[in-house]
Amino acid sequence: MLNRRVTWGAALIAAAAPLASMPVHAQSASERAAEAAKKYAGEEITITWEAGLQALDPKNFSIPKWEERTGVKVRVVELPVGEMFTKTMQEYRAGTGAYDVLNVVPAWMPDLAQAGALEPLGPFIDKYDYRADLEGIAPVYRNNWMTYQDKVYAIPDDGDQWMLFYRKDLFNDAENQRQFEQEYGYALEPPKTWDQFDDIARFFTDKYGPELHGAAMFGKPPYAQRTFQERFRVAGGRFFDPETMKATINTETGVEVLERMRAQVDYMPDGVQQWGFGELLSAFLKGNVAMVQSWPPFGRWAAGYGTDSEPLSWVPATQIAGKVGYAVPPGGASQMAVGFSLSVASNSDQKELAYLFIQWINSQEISLQRVQLPYALRDPFRESHYTDSEYKSRWDSAPEYLQTLKDSAAVGLLDLSIVQTAAYQEALQRGISRLWAGDDPQKILDDVAAEWNEITERVGVERQRKVYQDWASKPNAYP
């Protein structure tokens, strides 16, 4: 009897032995991270986050939850997005180790990674078995925003993109449909091309203006340079000759894009050249504009989701709830404008703990709650976010919203992301401001191209070619 017991016991132990060496799959990624972080209870890490509404997620929701679960304190340093890169680099260069977790705009990754400011995350991901969970991130973000020259430096944490929002009620109106078809010879539907977009916008402006305009856009140069980036590539443009690295934006395609942008001002609200996020949002929510291309929160707030919460008290009351349709932008591609990933600062003295916080906050379980916060500015970025039944029940057209978000993200176009991206973007921004000031588009683009060439020379043609080729080889660099 005893022998039999011993034999069975030995067999069980032998069977269980391999399991002991395997990761504990019973735990979710968030649980694994939280459990591992408990040994650091009482310690503190510092994270950078975009100032304002963005930071309410960690401050009001994520951090209290994390602290309760792990006993690890987290201090949030809020930075305006325009200062984040500068501050991150300054602290790195000064060697202060002031930040542990970094919010990184993917376009900065080549600069930060080359400078050595980011810690490679591969070893941590393997140690805490996060690879499977990362597979749940939508391919467009996973394949484009995580790596720099084949090393993982960041984990995508935001589903930024510019999708098209339009007034369903105006598009579905029988009289509008009849008149439009009579005038333009095709059916009134969400535009598939920028020509159609122009036709429809003019039609609505002519019919309903000046109370309602057919369309509006981000005119402020920091935004509008991204409009150029998107439309230029949709029209077949390429930023550089991959061999010589000479800028190729001053082509006929580039000039046509700028000319169209300037012509569009005619049917848009006065002063649209200076519109940023607030102006465009306000005009759309008040029902003064029929079509806009913007970040996903427009869709949520237009439906009234979360806008009765205190942090969103500045958002104008929506006049168009239930009247908004969602579509992939004209040209079949959406700019993945800005976006955020999470990284560990290379000079942090709490790298492991910093990583654990990232894994926890970015995990499927926690991120699903975060993207549904009424005041969230983190947009769905995981497959499970798009299909979640709770999210789909948030407002009537939420299923349609989430599906379009997914479709639009799949055809997203990356922001240009090479060494010294800020310098290239700044030159383009100045070009856009000259466009609004009335300069000749060809002259503008010739000047911008000359500046881009100078920057490339300064960076080093060979060095930049490698980085550009790495970027251009990503699936969503060009359509």
Partner 1 sequence: MTTRDTAAGSAAPPGWGRRLELLADRKFRYLLIVPTVFLLLSVTVFPAIYTLIVSFQDITLMAEDRSFHGLMNYQRLLEDSRFWWSLVHTVGFLLAALALQFVLGLLMALLFVEWMPGRQVFITLLVLPTVISPIVAGSAWRIMYEHQYGPISQIIGWLAELDNPVLWTADPTFVYPAILLAEVWQWTPFMFLLLLAALVNVDKSQVESAEIDGSTYWRTFWYIVFPAIRPVVAVALLIRSLDLFRVFDKVWILTQGGPGTMTELISIYIYKVGFQQFQTSYAAAMTFVVIILLTAVVVLALRRMGVSP
Cα–Cα nearest to 91, from 129, 57, 117, 63: 117
149 binds partner 1 (CB under 8 A): no
Measured CA to CA, the distance from residue 445 to residue 255 in angstroms comes to 7
As a whole number of angstroms, the distance between CA 476 and CA 473 comes to 8
Number of residues that bind partner 1 (CB under 8 A): 31
Q: How far is the CB of 314 from partner 1 (least distance, A)?
A: 14
336 sits near partner 1 (criterion: CB under 8 A): no
User: Which of the stretches 176-184, 297-305, 310-318, 437-445 binds partner 1 when contact is defined by CB under 8 A?
Assistant: 437-445
Q: Provide the token pair at 288.
A: 């003064």
Choosing from 78, 129, 407, 426, the residue that interacts with partner 1 (CB under 8 A) is 426
User: Binding to partner 1 by residue 419, rule CB under 8 A?
Assistant: yes
Instruction: Give the ranges where 167-215 is alpha helix by DSSP (H).
Output: 168-172, 174-184, 194-208
| Residue closest to 348 by CA, chosen among 61, 42, 59, 75 | 75
Closest approach of partner 1 to the CB of residue 30, in Å: 35
Stretch that binds partner 1, among 107-115, 291-299, 332-340, 375-383 (CB under 8 A): 107-115
CB of 221 to partner 1, least distance (A): 7
Quick one: which of 31, 43, 439, 446 contacts partner 1 (CB under 8 A)?
Answer: 439
Three-state SS for 247?
A: strand
- Residue (of 129, 163, 99) closest to 302 by Cα position: 163
How far apart CA 428 and CA 452 sit, in angstroms, is: 9
Q: Residue 319 interacts with partner 1 (CB under 8 A)?
A: no
Indicate the burial class of 47 (C-beta count within 10 angstroms; 0-12, 13-18, 19 or more): buried
Looking at the Cβ atoms of 129 and 279, the one nearer to partner 1 is: 279
Does 415 contact partner 1 by CB under 8 A? no
The 81-100 contact track toward partner 1, x by CB under 8 A, reads ----xx--xx--x-------
| CB of 136 or CB of 209, closer to partner 1 | 209
Residue (111 or 119) nearer to partner 1, CB: 111
The only residue of 13, 24, 317, 422 in contact with partner 1, by rule CB under 8 A? 422
Q: Is 436 in the site for partner 1 (CB under 8 A)?
A: yes
**Residue in 60, 172, 193, 274 binding partner 1, rule: CB under 8 A:** 274
Map residue 375 onto helix, strand or coil.
Answer: coil
Nearest to 74, CA basis, from 46, 106, 42: 46
- Beta-carbon contacts of residue 392 (< 8 Å; ≥ 6 apart): 398, 399, 402
Letters for 443-462 (x = contact with partner 1 by CB under 8 A, - = none) are ---------------xx---
Q: Which residues 373-392 are close enough to bind partner 1 by CB under 8 A?
A: none
Indicate the DSSP class of residue 269. P
Q: Is 273 in the site for partner 1 (CB under 8 A)?
A: yes
Q: What is the 3-state secondary structure (H, E, C) of 439-472?
A: CCHHHHHHHHHHHHHHHHHHHCHHHHHHHHHHHH
List contacts with partner 1 (CB under 8 A).
85-86, 89-90, 93, 111, 114-115, 221, 270-271, 273-274, 279, 419-420, 422-423, 426, 429-431, 433-434, 436-439, 458-459, 463
